[in-house]
Structure 1
Amino acid sequence: MASRKEALVRRANRVRRQIKAVANGRPRLSVHRTSKNIYAQIIDDVAGKTVAAASTLEADLKGGLKTGADVAAAAAVGKLVAERAAKAGVKEVVFDRGAFIYHGRIKALAEAAREGGLNF
């Protein structure tokens, strides 16, 4: 029986493989969450570069949040990464939820990014 970590890695790889198959050159919005923080970055897989990134560890977000591990924090990160992507000229992305279920903080981040101007 596979350990929990191995199962998460396998699920993340499966999701990422499906996303890369339909990306058509669009960068991907990759999300990672821990028990205390949430991170998002827009990655251009063709060039192998990170175009924009945001997390709850940043000083401007950290001061205004109650905690980095709630839906409000995820929404703030989603809005911030969308703003930074717009500055970098990215409007179309594919959403990479990794091994995480599209629910709660992951869903809040995705909806805030959509409201911020990203299309996926």
Structure 2
Amino acid sequence: MAKLSRNQARIKKHNRIKAKLALGTAIKPRLSVYKSLSNFYAQLIDDSTGKTLASVSTLKNAEYGGNIKAAEKVGTLMGQKINELKIQSIVFDRSGYIYHGRVKAFAEAVRKEGVKF
């Protein structure tokens, strides 16, 4: 069997995790993250209707968006958007990434806004 690239392995891991993960509903949507080398993205998804309820990213920021501080800012912004939608708890989908660095900083910033995972 051919060796998988780093991204192929991550996608395979993401699909395995997503199969076990509770899908997002209108009451408890799924918060999915994606990180590239230069930016960080997050979406709040209702899987029952297939719609994105809210999304944030570091694209609009003039500063470098691929670091931990930028992920914290995006996490705070996402937490505020979740509170505006009056959602108390979510399902966190880390998309196969290790819970470390930018992903951890983002998740902790969302939790500081009062959202429960």
With structure 1 as the length reference, what TM-score do the two structures score?
Answer: 0.87
Q: Give unmatched runs, 5+ long, in structure 1.
A: none
The match for 1:46 among 39, 48, 57 is 48
Instruction: Give distance in 2, aligned partners of 1:93 and 1:17.
Output: 17
Alpha-carbon RMSD across the aligned residues, in angstroms, is 1.6
Instruction: Give distance in 1, aligned partners of 2:5 and 2:77.
Output: 35
Instruction: Give distance in 1, aligned partners of 2:17 and 2:115.
Output: 20
**Which letter does structure 2 place at the counterpart of 1:102?**
Y
Partner of residue 97, structure 2: 100
The match for 2:30 among 7, 28, 31 is 28
SS at match of 1:20: coil
Partner deviation per Cα, 1:66-98 (whole Å, 9 max, x = no partner): 410111100000010111111122221011000
Instruction: Give distance in 1, aligned partners of 2:73 and 2:113.
Output: 10
Counting matched residue pairs gives: 114
1:109 aligned to 2:111?
no
With structure 2 as the length reference, what TM-score do the two structures score?
Answer: 0.89
Q: CA deviation at 1:118?
A: 1.2
Return the structure number with greater helix share: 1
1:79 aligned to 2:72?
no
SS at match of 2:82: helix
SS at match of 2:55: strand
Q: Give unmatched runs, 5+ long, in structure 2.
A: none
**Which letter does structure 1 place at the counterpart of 2:101?**
G
Partner deviation per Cα, 1:11-66 (whole Å, 9 max, x = no partner): 11111112126x676211100000000001110111111111100012xxx14xx4
Per mean C-alpha deviation after superposition, the further-off stretch among 78-87 and 3-12 is 3-12
Q: CA deviation at 1:7?
A: 0.9
